[in-house]
């Protein structure tokens, strides 16, 4: 199997079984033993098609008649993605490989159709994508469903919506956070650069953007726990909590553990952290990560955050509730999230409210509750927090201090948009329980 076939097969698996593209493709790459160069090309094609589906279909529309087999549609989209959005790929290679793929994944007749369409499409320059700022034009140009474009235009205006949609289609950088329990930023950077990793400092101190990482788990600096992978925005709930050594902390939706690890770091590995999650299997990653990072104050618990055990009621200084959400703030890393429909995520505020109610029961009088998500929808963010405060008058929003460049948040809640600092999109709210 070569790169283009792996990409198409992964796309078909995603369409058929709603699998995550990264998981589907990595499974194929491991099974087939593709080398680094072929693997990189497969990943670029697979992500490129998902990020640019509407644009690919726009280019194909004048030449396609009737419905296409799923395999043929995926092959054509992958070829157009190479032609329109990927540099240094000869048109002849994209077209010829697509025809051969159609022979093996569909049939000879389909191969003739693919050949005819792509020959006609490459015979002249690709037409410009729609340039307007209306929902339909933005939807095609940046391949986001029109429903989501219509959601963000009133919130952000045309210019910022354009910035966000464009950034969602940019490559997602690897972000390393320095584990100050084991290394200084200078020591961690030196160790990574010695292994050929190209680094650039990010807006938040102690974080680096990285290129040429290869397999991250193979890096000595990662294996020895000098760094861990975390986006700066995902770290904000831990910073907002005000955790200090000696505290008792609950991370109630903890897996895969990034917030728990940073909380332990802020606490100087002194105190106790209970990392709870509904999914038992995911907690193994928390335990493994804690061991790698030299953290010994974390215990794990499989539990439903909406129904905490009575023994935990009112016992924690800090409870961090990073709730399940629609994930629209991390589209750059999981491009298929954009294809969730508003109907598919309509139930989430109810789920988030129940989890937040359960988390609140664990906060001691005078303690702190952090609510956060990696989505950008007010109905899952500020509206959930406001409804919670109406149900729980014993809580109130409280000002929080975040690291620069985010700074002070006097209102106690903040939405971080991806285009502000090229981080994930994130929402967080700090609340205090009355004594």
What are the residue numbers of the active site?
A: 374
DSSP of 166-230, one letter per residue?
HHHTSPPPEEEEE-TTT--HHHHHHHHHHTT-EEEE-SSTTEEEEES--SGGG-HHHHTTSEEE-
* DSSP code at position 128: P
319's tokens: 């409870």
DSSP of 311-366, one letter per residue?
GGTT-EEEEEEE-----GGGTTTSGGGGG--TTTTTTHHHHHHHHHHHHHHTEEEE
334's tokens: 């999981």
**Distance between alpha carbon 75 and the CA centroid of its chain, in Å?**
26
User: CB neighbours of 215 closer than 8 A, spacing ≥ 6?
Assistant: none
Adjacency order of strands within the sheet including 227-229: 198-201, 207-211, 174-178, 227-229
Q: Measure the CA–CA gap between 157 and 423, rounded to whole angstroms.
A: 20
């Amino acid at each position: 199997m070569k790169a283009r076939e792996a990409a198409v097969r992964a796309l078909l698996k995603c369409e058929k079984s709603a699998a995550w593209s990264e998981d589907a493709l990595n499974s194929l790459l491991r099974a087939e033993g593709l080398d680094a160069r072929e693997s990189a090309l497969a990943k670029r094609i697979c992500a490129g098609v998902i990020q640019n589906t509407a644009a690919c279909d726009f280019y194909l529309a004048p030449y396609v008649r009737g419905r296409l087999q799923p395999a043929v549609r995926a092959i054509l989209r992958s070829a157009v993605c190479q032609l329109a959005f990927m540099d240094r790929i000869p048109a002849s290679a994209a077209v010829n490989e697509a025809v051969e793929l159609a022979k093996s994944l569909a049939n000879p007749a389909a191969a003739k159709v693919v050949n005819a369409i792509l020959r006609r499409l490459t015979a002249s320059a690709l037409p410009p994508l729609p340039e307007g700022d209306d929902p339909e034009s933005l939807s095609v140009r940046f391949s986001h469903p029109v429903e989501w474009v219509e959601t963000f235009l009133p919130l952000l205006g045309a210019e910022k919506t354009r910035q966000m949609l464009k950034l969602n289609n940019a490559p997602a950088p690897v972000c390393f956070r320095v584990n100050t329990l084991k290394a200084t930023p200078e020591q961690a950077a030196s160790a990574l650069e010695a292994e050929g990793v190209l680094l650039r400092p990010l807006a938040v101190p102690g974080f680096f953007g990285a290129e040429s990482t290869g397999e991250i788990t193979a890096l000595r600096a990662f294996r020895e726990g000098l760094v861990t992978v975390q986006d700066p925005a995902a770290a904000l709930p831990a910073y907002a909590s005000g955790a200090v050594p000696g505290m008792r902390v609950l991370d109630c939706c903890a897996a895969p553990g990034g917030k728990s690890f940073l909380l332990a770091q802020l606490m100087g590995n002194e105190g106790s952290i209970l990392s709870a999650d509904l999914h038992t299997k995911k907690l193994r990653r928390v335990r493994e990560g804690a061991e790698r990072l030299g953290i010994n104050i974390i215990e794990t618990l499989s539990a439903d955050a909406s129904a905490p055990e009575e023994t935990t009621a009112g016992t924690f200084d800090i409870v961090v509730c990073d709730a399940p959400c629609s994930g629209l703030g991390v589209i750059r890393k999981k491009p298929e999230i954009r294809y969730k429909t508003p109907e598919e995520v309509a139930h989430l505020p109810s789920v988030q409210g129940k989890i937040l109610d359960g988390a609140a029961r664990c906060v001691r009088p005078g303690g702190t509750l952090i609510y956060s998500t990696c989505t950008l929808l007010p109905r899952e963010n500020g509206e959930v927090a406001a409804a919670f405060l109406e149900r729980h008058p014993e809580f109130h929003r409280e000002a929080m201090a975040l690291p620069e460049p985010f700074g002070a948040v006097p209102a106690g809640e903040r939405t971080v948009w991806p285009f502000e600092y090229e981080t994930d999109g994130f929402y967080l709210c700090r609340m205090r329980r009355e004594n």
